[in-house]
Amino acid sequence: MTHKPRPDLLESPYAGLPTPRWPWQRSLQYRIVFTYSTVVFLILLLLITLIGIIIYDTQIEQADRQLEIEAFLARNALQDPLNGYITELKEHEQWRDQHGEPHTSSSAPDADDQKSNSANELQPPRTLRLQQAATLYAATIGTRVTILDPSGRPLADSRYPVTQLVNQGQQPEVQMALRKLDRRDIRVDPLSGMLMLYVAAPIQQDDAIVGVVQLSRPMTYILAKVQKLLTTVIVLGVLALVLVTVLGVLLGRRLVSPLIAMKEAALAIASGDLERQAPIETADELGALAYAFNRMVQVLRRSMEQQREFIANASHELRTPLTNIKLRSETLLDVGERDPALTRRYLAEIDSEADRLRRLSNTLLDLALLDEKIGSKQPPTERVDLAVLLRRVADIMELRMQQANLTLLRSVPNDLPLLRVAAEDIETILINLLSNAVNYTPAGGTVQLAAQVVNGRCQLRVQDTGPGILPEDLSHIFERFYRVDKAHSRRSAKAGNGTGAGLGLSIVQAQVEQMGGRIWVESPPGQGACFTVELPLDGA
Ligand code: ADP
Task: Please state the atom number of ligand 1 nearest to the C-alpha of residue 486.
Answer: 14
pLDDT of residue 514: 85
CB-side neighbour CA atoms (13 Å) of 336:
13
- What distance in Å separates the CA atoms of residue 518 and residue 243, rounded to the nearest whole number? 61
- What distance in Å separates the CA atoms of residue 402 and residue 76, rounded to the nearest whole number? 134
Average pLDDT over residues 447-459: 92
Which phi and psi angles does 145 have, rounded to 5°? -120, 130
Answer whether residue 110 shows pLDDT above 50: no
Average pLDDT over residues 423-434: 91
**DSSP structure string for 384-448:** EEHHHHHHHHHHHHHHHHHHTT-EEEEE--TTPPEE-S-HHHHHHHHHHHHHHHHHHSPTT-EEE
pLDDT of residue 214: 95
Average pLDDT over residues 470-475: 91
Task: Please state the atom number of ligand 1 nearest to the C-alpha of residue 500.
Answer: 3
Q: Is 438 in the pocket of ligand 1 (CB under 6 A)?
A: no
pLDDT of residue 231: 93
Q: For residue 369, how far is its CA from the centre of ligand 1 (angstroms)?
A: 22
* Higher-scoring residue by pLDDT: 92, 232: 232
Q: For residue 117, how far is its CA from the centre of ligand 1 (angstroms)?
A: 139
* Higher-scoring residue by pLDDT: 500, 471: 471
Average pLDDT over residues 242-258: 88
When pLDDT is cut at 50, 70 and 90, the band that residue 1 belongs to is very low
Q: Is 440 in the pocket of ligand 1 (CB under 6 A)?
A: yes
Q: Is 477 in the pocket of ligand 1 (CB under 6 A)?
A: yes
Q: Is 489 in the pocket of ligand 1 (CB under 6 A)?
A: yes
Rama region for 502: left / alpha / beta (φ>0; ψ in -120 to 50; rest):
left
Number of other CB atoms surrounding residue 350 within 10 Å: 18
Lowest mean pLDDT among 74-78, 93-97, 396-400: 93-97
Q: Is 465 in the pocket of ligand 1 (CB under 6 A)?
A: no
Rama region for 370: left / alpha / beta (φ>0; ψ in -120 to 50; rest):
alpha
pLDDT of residue 8: 53
When pLDDT is cut at 50, 70 and 90, the band that residue 443 belongs to is very high
Closest C-alpha residue for ligand 1 atom 19: 436
- pLDDT tens per residue, range 159-173: 999 889 999 999 999
Q: For residue 434, how far is its CA from the centre of ligand 1 (angstroms)?
A: 11
Q: What dihedral do alpha carbons 492, 493, 497, 503 form, nearest 10°?
A: 30
Q: Is 496 in the pocket of ligand 1 (CB under 6 A)?
A: no
How far from 464 is each of 92, 181, 484, 521, CA to CA, in Å? 134, 111, 17, 12
- What distance in Å separates the CA atoms of residue 146 and residue 165, rounded to the nearest whole number? 10
Q: Is 150 in the pocket of ligand 1 (CB under 6 A)?
A: no
Closest C-alpha residue for ligand 1 atom 25: 468
Answer whether residue 123 shows pLDDT above 90: no
Percent of residues, the chain, with pLDDT higher than 70: 89
Q: For residue 500, how far is its CA from the centre of ligand 1 (angstroms)?
A: 8
Contact between 68 and 182 under an 8 Å Cβ cutoff? The reply is yes
Average pLDDT over residues 256-262: 90
CA angle centred on 396, ends 416 and 463, rounded to 5°: 60
- pLDDT tens per residue, range 35-69: 888 998 999 999 999 999 999 999 999 999 999 99
Per-chain mean pLDDT for the chain:
85
Q: For residue 159, how far is its CA from the centre of ligand 1 (angstroms)?
A: 118
When pLDDT is cut at 50, 70 and 90, the band that residue 414 belongs to is confident
Q: Is 464 in the pocket of ligand 1 (CB under 6 A)?
A: yes
- pLDDT tens per residue, range 365-404: 888 887 776 656 666 778 889 899 999 999 999 999 999 9
Q: Is 436 in the pocket of ligand 1 (CB under 6 A)?
A: yes
pLDDT of residue 537: 84
* Higher-scoring residue by pLDDT: 332, 82: 332
